[in-house]
Structure 1
Amino acid sequence: MKGNKKSFAKQRLHSLSHKVHLTNIRGLHSNIVAVHHHLETEKPALLFLSETQIRCPSDVSYLLYPGFTLEHNFKPRAGVCMYARDDICYRRLRNLEDSRFSTLWALVDTGLDKIIYACVYRSHSGDQETTGLTQHLSEAAEAAQQRYPSAQLVLLGDFNAHHQEWLFPFQCTDHAGREMRKLALTLNLTQLVQGATRVPDVDSHTPNCLDLLLTTDPDRYSVSISAPLGSSDHCLVKSVSVYSPPDPSPRGTRRMWRYRSADWDGMRSFFACYPWQPTCFSSEDASSCADAVTDVLRQGMEYYIPFSDVSVSGGALPWFSAECGRANALKRAAYRAWVDSRTRNSLDVSEKKKAFNRAAKSCKKVMQRARFDHISRIGNKLASYPAGSKAFWSLAKSVESNFCRPSLPPLLRPDGSLAHTAEEKANLFASLFAESSRLDSGDASPPAAPDGGETIYLD
């Protein structure tokens, strides 16, 4: 019986070991590269994004990323979405959502526990709209708890609220802060984010905590704040189960040998001329001799067989170059320096903030350029292969299996911007067809109209 309890406890701890990340992305279109890079490198169980700022497109495949499912409630100046890893069992609770608000409800089933997530974005609306939102959240949460009485409730998102007794930096209280505080007390929720999550663009503005994570079971979570994604002015909030077991995913690199390009004659000559006896067999210890032979064999392979060390952790994108890594490291270092300076109330807080803004913008440009160059290299490589050849189709299938392909990709406008939605693409096609359908009549004059009294006979 005790053994069964231990097995059950281990299974329970493993089921809770998922990471949930949250941020206000401030425009998903402009930061999609940073979002995809975060999904690839961090692989969170759930990634919630608020203020996506896009209309609901008819084709969202360009927003997708392999290994994740996208759920969204897009709105032009608001909106929320969720990226759920494919191994996460969840269900969208659309019956709890209200079209007036930017909310997204989902039920996650870990196998032993159920967790109800509600992602919220409250725009800078009036007091009446804020009261309506909190009333909706209260009613929806009560309905969800009645339907799933044993489920844990988690409310997270950008609430744009201030409360001097509840939220950092504890300076002022507004109507939204009072309403959210009242909602938390009503639903028995604990707010876990204890630092500033918004990095203001204006130096005179005070960093504050706008992105919240409220839960009915606070003991299970450990929350940290990281640097923003892309050009967003909100930090990334990471919540991880405190019971998480060690990450079983492989780490490090794996050496890949290119045997087809090996210099076998050179390797044979190397091994034939190598002084085996004094180097490998001078010791009487068999293990030492075996290690020496292994080192010589590896040395010969490295000399005459091309190889590359590939990461096995899945933590890097093909286009993520060393320059991207340096830019990302500089951005994180600048963010940590700014946070440290703000914590110590140093006089150079403003300079550290400006340095972080410059590093963040530079990192975004470097990543966008690297991704564009990578796609260009693939296109040039495909163009260099004979159409229909084995090399052409091998690369084409590799690209097809690693990229999300929309039914109609974004189109380039004459001004250099991209058309994403179906309406934008249709208008672009219409203008193109209209421009191409004009006939050059030169100096020809139009045909003369017949006189009013003339009769025209048609055969």
Structure 2
Amino acid sequence: MLHSASWRLDGRTRWSVIGGARASPQSPSDQRRHFLPLKVHLTNIRGLHSNLDPVHHHLETEKPHLFFLTETQIATPSDVAYLNFPGYTLEHKFKKCAGRLRGFEKSEFPVLWLLVDTGMEKSLYAGVYRSHSGDRETTRLMEYLAETADIALQRYPTAELVFLGDFNAHHKEWLFPYQKTDHAGREARKLALALNLTQLVDQATRIPDIAGHTPNCLDLLLTTDPHRHSVSVSAPLGSSDHCVVKSVSVCSPPDYTHRGTRRVWRYESADWDEMRAFFASYPWRRLCFYSGNPSCVADAITAVIRQGMEYFIPFSDIPLGYKARPWYNADCARAEARKQSAYQAWVKARDRKVRARKVRAKKRAYNAAARSCKRVLRKARFDHISRIGAKLASYPPGSKQFWSLSKSVESNFCRPTLPPLQKPDGSLAHTATEKANLFADLFASNSRLDTGSKHPPTLPHCDSLMPEITVFNKEVRRSLLGLDVNKASGPDGIPARVLRYCAPELAPVLTRLYRLSLTTKIVPKSWKLANVQPVPKKGSRADPSNYRPIAITSVLCKVMERVLNRKLLSYLEDNDLLSDRQYGFRRGRSTGDLLVYATHCWGEAIENNGEAIAVSLDISKAFDRVWHASLLSKLPAYGIPAGFCNWVADFLSERSIRVVIDGCSSELMAIDAGVPQGSVLSATLFLLHINDLLSSGIVGYADDSTVMVSV
């Protein structure tokens, strides 16, 4: 039976001083000014299975650095994934975990030992649970704690000792007012005297549900350095009758948990008719097209669309850092508030020593509020899971929507954040900002070329000439109506859903903007920024090179690209300017067609008693390392007008990326090569770039080429 467990925040086994540098020797009080509060919480949960939701909610809202639980009442499971909470590492008796002092632990004693090392000071935490197993076992447990503490202090002579847990001890002179002293109380008192420990919990921590049973102080926190701790007690979690003991110490690690907020739009409650009316009546020409600079106009239009969204779409600003509990609604919040209010009212009545009948009434009110809170939380979570199940059932098994929802559910409940990443110098990146900058350096380096004094190639001009491109309102409107509303918003924050639902009102405005961009040959600067999300591939997740960059660009820019790309591809296809041996990014062609053609060639060679030789080539970082000068020199050879070539040149120039992890952004990184990932035009531009490579005997699918020879 597992009696104890604890959660600790990921990356918190060892902490450093803010700023990263070691300071010169200072007094302990001066050193502690460099740290933020270290929060350590403790409770006897009285059954983790039935109270897992309240525990996870506590981790999300309170964000303690360490959370100790006793009396979890669960057998050793084969898989503990369902217990995990994003951003935390679970420490327990049946799994090897970093940060544990396993050399101090014995299987027969329900004790967890943890070392917290700030770089300047160390603290040894012992999570203890003493069961009602008799006086002899109690004595053995206390002797084990004393002996192990002596051994630990020999290894860490300057460390603070902290013992916390459910001691189930009574002592009328030492602990919260009791009428008796038992053997466990005397042994705990002897342990405190032997190790110079001070007990800091000074009020009841167990509130019995049974009438007539008095509150007890069973959950203790003993430390060798009481002046650094501030201890308080709050209401129990779930159905447990033990309060939560909270300790805040003045010597602590830097707090990396605050990562800002993200805005969540409640589209189901949006007033779309009013938003359309707002956009239809807005004076776009006077307030947005006051400048001939497309960058200024695009920024003004973006601001107006955002303004309309804030007026007519309800939204919430959700704290970043950990996965929110999506089932936790307003009813849950009100139930939690009523429970806490009832608990505080009972504590005040008890401390003021009012009439016993009134204290009992407050106690009954708290018990009722606690039971009601648990029912509300359970119902909210059940309803949320039922909605997800119904939604999953409505999707075809194996479809994109099915797997997308499945992965989001899995990520919300049990997947951790990115692990520490290996830097080139061998050190580790722990914080979200460090990880983002590490990825940004890596991804940007893939799109930088040193061309030296090389000259771009020249191609013979074709006989056809593409007419100048003109953007029409109906084309923009069709592209807006074809947007996928489930796609992510770009760096400008304009979602595809708003553009699609308000297409008739926004199409004329965007058409005017796109025409201005083509006329001036200038692409708005805000469209040249891409947010990049790292997605793990196979291999170690601690190696940044084992991640694939997924770029997210402006949806406003994608709409214009889709209009231009449709015209460009139509011209190239109508005039047979793309190699017939290219099967990638072509209408009516697929990998299956290429496979059939290759198989046919090999079969012919075998029928003629010959041999077929094939060599497959995969160009590494092909899209990321396109030489802009080479690409731009080839465009006129295909009859593409100079005005559009100049627009493409500006589209490719002065681009930058930033990596976003857990709400933290990297520095902007400039790139000078490659076709933009996540761009609609990129595929067609890449086909033009490698079009002259595909000659007789070579077939290709995008950047994958196969050389075939039959003899």
Q: Which runs of 5+ in 2 are unaligned?
A: 1-22, 288-300, 416-711
Structure showing greater Rg? 2
The counterpart of 2:339, out of the listed 323, 328, 331, is: 331
Residue 272 of structure 1 is matched in structure 2 by 283
1:233-252 residue pairs with structure 2 within 5 A?
233-242=241-250, 250=258
Paired with 1:395 and 1:70, the residues of 2 have a C-alpha distance of 26
Whether the 8 Å CA contact 1:255–1:307 is kept in 2: the answer is no
The 3 A distance-change label for structure 1 pair 142 and 343 is same
Tell me the CA shift for residue 251 of structure 1: 8.8
Tell me the CA shift for residue 294 of structure 1: 12
Tell me the CA shift for residue 170 of structure 1: 4.1
Residue 205 of structure 2 is matched in structure 1 by 197
Question: Per the alignment, in what secondary structure is the counterpart of residue 198 of structure 1?
Answer: coil
The counterpart of 2:384, out of the listed 367, 374, 379, is: 374
Which aligned runs of 4 or more in structure 1 are off by greater than 6 angstroms? Answer: 5-11, 244-248, 258-264, 273-276, 293-298
The counterpart of 1:19, out of the listed 13, 35, 39, is: 39
Which AA in structure 2 matches 1:396? S
The 3 A distance-change label for structure 1 pair 355 and 105 is same
Residue 223 of structure 1 is matched in structure 2 by 231
1:203-218 residue pairs with structure 2 within 5 A?
203-218=211-226
Residue 98 of structure 1 is matched in structure 2 by 106
Question: Per the alignment, in what secondary structure is the counterpart of residue 27 of structure 1?
Answer: coil
Paired with 2:133 and 2:346, the residues of 1 have a C-alpha distance of 31
Tell me the CA shift for residue 208 of structure 1: 1.7
Whether the 8 Å CA contact 1:107–1:117 is kept in 2: the answer is yes
Do structure 1's residue 353 and structure 2's residue 363 form an aligned pair? yes
Paired with 1:259 and 1:28, the residues of 2 have a C-alpha distance of 36
The counterpart of 1:119, out of the listed 92, 109, 127, is: 127
Whether the 8 Å CA contact 2:338–2:369 is kept in 1: the answer is yes
- 1:254-294, CA deviations, whole angstroms, 9 ceiling, x for partnerless residues? 54458999778534322139999xxxxxxxxxxxxxxxx99
Residue 74 of structure 2 is matched in structure 1 by 54
Paired with 1:258 and 1:6, the residues of 2 have a C-alpha distance of 52
Which AA in structure 2 matches 1:164? K
Question: Per the alignment, in what secondary structure is the counterpart of residue 99 of structure 2?
Answer: strand
Paired with 1:107 and 1:5, the residues of 2 have a C-alpha distance of 22
Tell me the CA shift for residue 7 of structure 1: 12
Higher relative contact order (CA 8 A, sep 6+): 1
1:436-447 residue pairs with structure 2 within 5 A?
none
Which AA in structure 2 matches 1:24? N
Which AA in structure 2 matches 1:55? A
Residue 70 of structure 1 is matched in structure 2 by 90
Paired with 1:96 and 1:403, the residues of 2 have a C-alpha distance of 33
Which AA in structure 2 matches 1:234? H
The 3 A distance-change label for structure 1 pair 309 and 274 is farther
Question: Per the alignment, in what secondary structure is the counterpart of residue 225 of structure 1?
Answer: strand
Which AA in structure 1 matches 2:82? Y
Residue 133 of structure 1 is matched in structure 2 by 141
Whether the 8 Å CA contact 1:198–1:210 is kept in 2: the answer is yes
The counterpart of 1:147, out of the listed 155, 158, 180, is: 155
- 1:401-452, CA deviations, whole angstroms, 9 ceiling, x for partnerless residues? 22228xxxxxxxxxxxxxxxxxxxxxxxxxxxxxxxxxxxxxxxxxxxxxxx
The counterpart of 1:169, out of the listed 174, 177, 191, is: 177
Paired with 2:324 and 2:408, the residues of 1 have a C-alpha distance of 17
Instruction: Output the aligned Cα RMSD.
Output: 3.6
Question: Per the alignment, in what secondary structure is the counterpart of residue 376 of structure 1?
Answer: helix
Residue 454 of structure 1 is matched in structure 2 by none
Tell me the CA shift for residue 346 of structure 1: 2.0
The 3 A distance-change label for structure 1 pair 190 and 8 is closer
Q: Which runs of 5+ in 1 are unaligned?
A: 75-80, 85-89, 277-292, 406-459
Paired with 1:248 and 1:68, the residues of 2 have a C-alpha distance of 13
Tell me the CA shift for residue 29 of structure 1: 1.4
> TM-score, normalized by length of structure 2?
0.48
Paired with 2:235 and 2:75, the residues of 1 have a C-alpha distance of 27
> TM-score, normalized by length of structure 1?
0.73
Which AA in structure 1 matches 2:279? R
Which AA in structure 2 matches 1:402? N
Tell me the CA shift for residue 389 of structure 1: 3.6
The 3 A distance-change label for structure 1 pair 391 and 318 is same
Whether the 8 Å CA contact 2:197–2:222 is kept in 1: the answer is yes
Do structure 1's residue 30 and structure 2's residue 50 form an aligned pair? yes
The 3 A distance-change label for structure 1 pair 385 and 101 is same
The 3 A distance-change label for structure 1 pair 203 and 251 is farther
The 3 A distance-change label for structure 1 pair 257 and 34 is closer
- Count matched residues: 377
Paired with 1:53 and 1:195, the residues of 2 have a C-alpha distance of 25
Paired with 1:368 and 1:256, the residues of 2 have a C-alpha distance of 24
Residue 364 of structure 1 is matched in structure 2 by 374
